[in-house]
């Protein structure tokens, strides 16, 4: 939520839309008109919050997905503001990483970067030269992560089948994740197995386990 005094109110147009929140009250919505772009119901505020709600009547919030870009200082951020209690560590490793898919080895590397992110399984990022690039096909799908940046994807086709968006990479990761720039990562949850120094790494249940990411 932003103080009203910090918002360019001349760009705001009152909307007929209202929404109810049991903890905050009735939200009045506003469209945003910059003179170049009109975005419907892009912002909201609680003019008369319910009893017990923090004093937010002089504050306004914006729908993240309807804004073109968000920044913390001079750095663009994605999806949501970063949690200062969550961290990402990218550690180079000479341990052997093998990825098996449909019974075929699709990656074998000793030049990986292991990414440790709070609350997530370890991800193994590998040079694309150490993968079966002949099985890869570029995907149009992209995703965004507040802690790593914008990722692109590859489909992977084995002798058995085509796997959509199985591999991702960050062409220009955020500063904290620069070590994974250009390296590729396989969805551990969706391949047969990943071995590190010959030992299979247990899979952890995540959103990708059901094919969603």
**83 pLDDT more than 80:** no
Residue 34 and residue 109 in one domain: no
CA distance 129 to 108: 10
**209 pLDDT more than 60:** no
Residue 82, in any domain of the structure: no
CA distances from 50 to 26, 191, 205 (A): 8, 50, 39
Q: How many CB atoms lie within 10 A of CB 204?
A: 12
**6 pLDDT more than 90:** yes
Residue 186, in any domain of the structure: yes
Check residue 116 and give left, alpha or beta (phi > 0: left; psi -120 to 50: alpha): beta
Residue 77, in any domain of the structure: no
CA distances from 135 to 12, 43, 61, 81, 126 (A): 50, 45, 45, 36, 15
Nearest to 31 by CA among 57, 78, 63: 63
| Contact of 130 with 124, CB cutoff 8 Å | no
Q: Average pLDDT, stretch 8-33?
A: 94
* Token pair listed for 138: 């570029």
Residue 61 and residue 24 in one domain: yes
pLDDT tens readout for residues 123-143: 999 999 999 999 999 999 999
The predicted pLDDT at position 212 comes to: 40
Tell me, rounded to whole angstroms, the distance of Cα 64 from its chain centroid: 13
Residue 34 and residue 104 in one domain: no
* Token pair listed for 8: 């360019």
**213 pLDDT more than 60:** no
Question: Read out DSSP for 187-206?
Answer: -GGGSSEEEETTEEPPP---
* Token pair listed for 188: 């551990």
Residue with token string 């913390």:
72
| Contact of 139 with 147, CB cutoff 8 Å | no
The predicted pLDDT at position 110 comes to: 98
- Which residues lie across from 75 on neighbouring strands? 72
| Contact of 15 with 27, CB cutoff 8 Å | no
Number of domains in the chain: 2
Residue 99 and residue 201 in one domain: yes
Domain of residue 115 covers 88-210
Output the domain CATH number for residue 201: 2.170.150.40
Residue 127 and residue 179 in one domain: yes
Residue with token string 């899979």:
203
**211 pLDDT more than 60:** no
Question: Rounded to two decimals, what is the model's pTM?
Answer: 0.71
**208 pLDDT more than 60:** no
**171 pLDDT more than 90:** yes
Q: How many CB atoms lie within 10 A of CB 54?
A: 11
CA distance 167 to 184: 6
The predicted pLDDT at position 98 comes to: 98
The predicted pLDDT at position 82 comes to: 76
């Amino acid at each position: 939520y932003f103080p009203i005094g910090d918002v360019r109110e001349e760009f705001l147009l009152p909307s007929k839309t209202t929404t109810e929140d049991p903890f905050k009250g009735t939200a009045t919505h506003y469209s945003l008109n910059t003179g170049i772009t009109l975005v419907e119901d892009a912002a909201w505020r609680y003019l008369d919050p319910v009893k017990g709600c923090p004093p937010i009547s002089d504050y306004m919030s914006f729908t993240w997905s309807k804004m073109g870009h968000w920044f913390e200082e001079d750095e663009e951020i994605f999806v949501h503001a970063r949690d200062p209690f969550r961290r990402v560590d990218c550690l180079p490793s000479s341990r052997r990483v093998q990825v098996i898919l449909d019974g075929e080895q699709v990656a074998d590397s000793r030049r990986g970067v292991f990414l440790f992110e709070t609350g997530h399984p370890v991800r193994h990022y590998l040079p694309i030269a150490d993968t079966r690039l002949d099985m890869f096909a570029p995907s149009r799908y992209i995703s965004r992560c507040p802690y790593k940046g914008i990722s692109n994807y590859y489909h992977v086709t084995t002798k058995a089948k085509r796997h959509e968006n199985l591999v991702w990479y960050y062409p220009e990761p955020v500063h904290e994740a620069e070590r994974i720039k250009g390296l590729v990562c396989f969805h551990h949850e969706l391949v047969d197995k990943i071995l590190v120094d010959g030992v299979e790494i247990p899979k952890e249940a995540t959103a990708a386990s059901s094919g969603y990411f």
